[in-house]
Chains A and B, each alone.
Chain A
Amino acid sequence: MSCQALAGPILDLARGALLPASRAEVLEHVESCAACRERLRAERWLSEGLRDWAAADADREPAPALEARLRSALRARHRRAVRPRRTAPAWAWPIAAAAAGLALWSAFPKQAGRVAAPRVEEAAFRPLFSGDLEDVDGYQVVRVELSRSALAGLGFATGEDFGARAVSADVIVGQDGVARGIRLVR
């Protein structure tokens, strides 16, 4: 076998990974070839250095606090996953979708010349479903503009005093993307 063909087996021999069946053949060649003998010696020296390094830091581990942090993250994730979800009434889904679309629309600059009406925020949010809004875990408040018909669907009186074509509102959106509560901004 040529020296070049033995380069791989010599590396495996130095790393202690050579199959016993090939060992005798490689050793026989190394005995009679000074270059391969030197190569084996160098590879063994390097393997020893790597082994010593591995042994020197074999006990190193992350700080104990990491385990606690990760366990806490797992608990939080699982708690969210098993939390019973409220069932939204059928009429609420189009409203939620409309609210999301309007939120996107409202992010763009409005037409020049439009006169902004003075805005007064209602003190409290009205829940969109039965249940207490304080139960909502992790939420975002999104300001949207709703049409009068959407407001009527939500149970708001939309008489002539509304005047404008759309009304601003703050919507509480839960982590599941469902709108939970609303307050008008006039």
Chain B
Amino acid sequence: MTAPQAPTDDELLRRLAAGDEDAFTALFRRWQGPIFRFGLRMSGAPAVAEDVTQEVFMALITGAGRYDPGRGSLPSYLFGIARNQVLRRIEKERPYVPMLEGEEEPLGALGAADVLEELERSERVLRVREAVLSLPPHYREVVVLSDLQLLSYQETAAALGCAVGTVRSRLHRARALLLLKLADPEAPSAGAEARAGGRP
């Protein structure tokens, strides 16, 4: 006996357009996490991420019929709305203060080597996060969507409303900027190379 298949996004959207609350709940539970984390990674502020999530799903409630599957997947559509909301807030609340506290995982009962490794990992995460948050928004959004939300180039392009080639070139440039900002002892030549204009 096979387990019943979960309804597709398109099916849930059709039901939502008719006011089906269960369909909305299913869509919300499916996509709230990715949308919230997108807002969080773009802004560094949980309050902004929550506002953005609320706006995205309110847009779905008030305009479920506006989504056109022919123009991209539902996640691309939702990330597109989220992106506009985040950019609006970044613009309005600049300069914002990224909230990074309280997110470190407890080290627990680890061995000395593990602790060192864990500390290095945590430190790198912090530095990478700060570097990403300091990128200009049009570079930041491609890194967040492609490298953190793991959207394909096509999905990222659909969310941003630009060509796939634009996504690739922005990602390339964004990562070169990140390496430059990080200029880590572990990646010295990468930073030097970027500074010397060795990266496209």
Q: Is B163 an interface residue (CB 8 A)?
A: no
Q: Which 9 A-B pairs have the closest CB atoms?
A: A42-B190, A78-B19, A49-B128, A42-B187, A38-B189, A50-B147, A49-B124, A53-B125, A62-B36
Measured CA separation A50–B143 after assembly (Å)? 9
Quick check: A71 and B24 within 8 Å, CB to CB? yes
Residues of B in contact with A, size category = 35 or more
Measured CA separation A11–B129 after assembly (Å)? 19
Quick check: A49 and B127 within 8 Å, CB to CB? yes
- Partner of A11 from the list B29, B41, B53, B175 (CB cut-off 8 Å) is B175
List chain B residues, Cβ under 8 A from A62. 32, 36, 49-50, 53-54
Report A's interface with B, CB cutoff 8 A.
Answer: 4, 7-8, 11, 15, 35, 38-39, 41-43, 45-50, 52-54, 56-63, 66-67, 69-71, 73-75, 77-78, 81-82
Q: Pick from A11, A69, A75 the residue with the most CB of B within 10 Å.
A: A11
Measured CA separation A82–B20 after assembly (Å)? 13
Q: Closest CB-CB distance, A41 to chain B, in whole Å?
A: 7
Nearest CB in chain B to that of A45: its residue: B187
Q: Closest CB-CB distance, B157 to chain A, in whole Å?
A: 14
Q: Is B199 an interface residue (CB 8 A)?
A: yes
Which residues of chain B (23-74) have a CB below 8 Å from chain A?
24-25, 28-29, 32-33, 36-37, 40-41, 46, 49-50, 53-54, 57-58, 61-62
Quick check: B33 and A60 within 8 Å, CB to CB? yes
Quick check: A61 and B36 within 8 Å, CB to CB? yes
Quick check: B187 and A56 within 8 Å, CB to CB? no
List chain A residues, Cβ under 8 A from B89. none
Q: Is B12 an interface residue (CB 8 A)?
A: no
List chain B residues, Cβ under 8 A from A4. 200
